[in-house]
Amino acid sequence: MAEHRIYVRSANGDRVEAVDPASGKTLWVTPGEARPLWAWRDRVALLVPGPKGELVIQVALDTRHGAEILLTSAALGIPDWVPLYDVAVQRRSVVHRVRVRSKGNDLWLAWWAQDQVITGVRPPAPEHESSGGVRVDLSTGAVAALDEPVLPPDPDQAVPASLSGWKLSKGQLWAPCRCGGPDKPVRAGRFAVSVALEIEQLEKQERVWLLRWRADTGQPAEPVLLHQGARLFTILTGDGDHVLTSEKARTWTIHDLETGRRRGQVSLHGLAEVSILGGRLFEIHGKDYRFRLDAYDIATGRRLWKRPLWSARQFSPVP
């Protein structure tokens, strides 16, 4: 996502569509296969097949009428059996995961891929497996391999190495949050934060707490009670700045991850993939191999628009 665009996999294949977040309308579509990697200001980085089928990165200027290619990188060194997206055909499954970070003229990409034959309850070892990482110079397109498939740390997201713990009263129990997190501390503005589920064994009550530590000292700050109920769920949003809580995994309350402040409430389709951009919440959900993108107004909870995304039926489901 960028401030003025959402980039999604097309409903009609493996192309990328630029979507207006206000209306849900398609602004442009890539002419060929592509996978969105990173967006900043008026630019977007795409993973695309190169002239010989090798995967490369293209940086495009996002205009109102299309994507103007500014730069194409050298080959990334990803094996030729690795597809743009996950594929399931007959009894074979190919999984492809990528992680990306960008700063200045540098873009780092780490990938992992596995080609697996699915047979019964004990499938054999993967036929192919690969991982790696590269740094791409966005001014020249030059590619340099990383020593390990790990992205370099981001100083702006650093968490103190030592954090003071929290004491529990008798009858209390900390447990991992259902479905969401972060159950390990992450950076949120001035704080390192973690979302924890507290279970009152005697009262059969649960509470979701936002535990906070000062990012500069590691000392505990005032925790924030986010939700109380009988069986609670949480979702960390894809933008990394919010956490959602719910008692029935249907109506969700939106909280700022730094302060715990409530921003709004929406009804979602269960445990969905969620991101927030400005005053809108975007939900990706699916049923029967078909996926959809819905947009909601955070202040009112009203759905603004919906549109179809890709369909996994374009591939044969694994038996």
Q: How far apart are CA 224 and CA 159, in angstroms?
A: 19
Mind listing the pLDDT tens digit for each residue in 219-242?
888 889 999 988 888 888 988 899
pLDDT score at 219: 87
Fold topology of 1-152: Thrombin, subunit H (2.40.10)
> Over pLDDT 90: what percentage of the chain?
42
User: At residue 50, does pLDDT exceed 80?
Assistant: yes
Spans of all domains in the chain: 1-152, 155-314
Q: How far apart are CA 199 and CA 191, in angstroms?
A: 24
- Going from the C-alpha of 267 to that of each of 161, 244, 249, 275, 283, the distances in angstroms are 38, 11, 9, 14, 10
pLDDT score at 314: 42
Q: How far apart are CA 232 and CA 207, in angstroms?
A: 8
Contacts of 108 (CB under 8 A, 6+ apart): 100, 101, 102, 133, 134, 135, 136, 146, 151, 152
Mind listing the pLDDT tens digit for each residue in 253-305?
999 999 999 999 999 987 778 999 989 999 998 876 678 899 999 999 999 99
Model-wide pTM > 0.75:
yes
Q: How far apart are CA 1 and CA 38, in angstroms?
A: 8
Question: Tokens in use for 77?
Answer: 């060194």
pLDDT score at 83: 86
Fold topology of 155-314: Thrombin, subunit H (2.40.10)
Contact 59, 43 (CB under 8 A): yes
Beta bridge partners of 192: 187, 213
Across the range 68-93, mean pLDDT stands at: 85
Contact 235, 195 (CB under 8 A): no
Strand 205-214 versus strand 224-229 pairing type: antiparallel
Domains 1-152 and 155-314 agree in fold: yes
* CA nearest neighbour of 215 among 193, 192, 194, 195: 192
CA atoms in the 13 A half-sphere facing the CB of 32: 11
Other Cβ atoms less than 10 A from the Cβ of 280: the count is 17
Question: Tokens in use for 157?
Answer: 């997201």
Contact 267, 284 (CB under 8 A): no
Identity of the amino acid at 202? L
pLDDT score at 257: 93
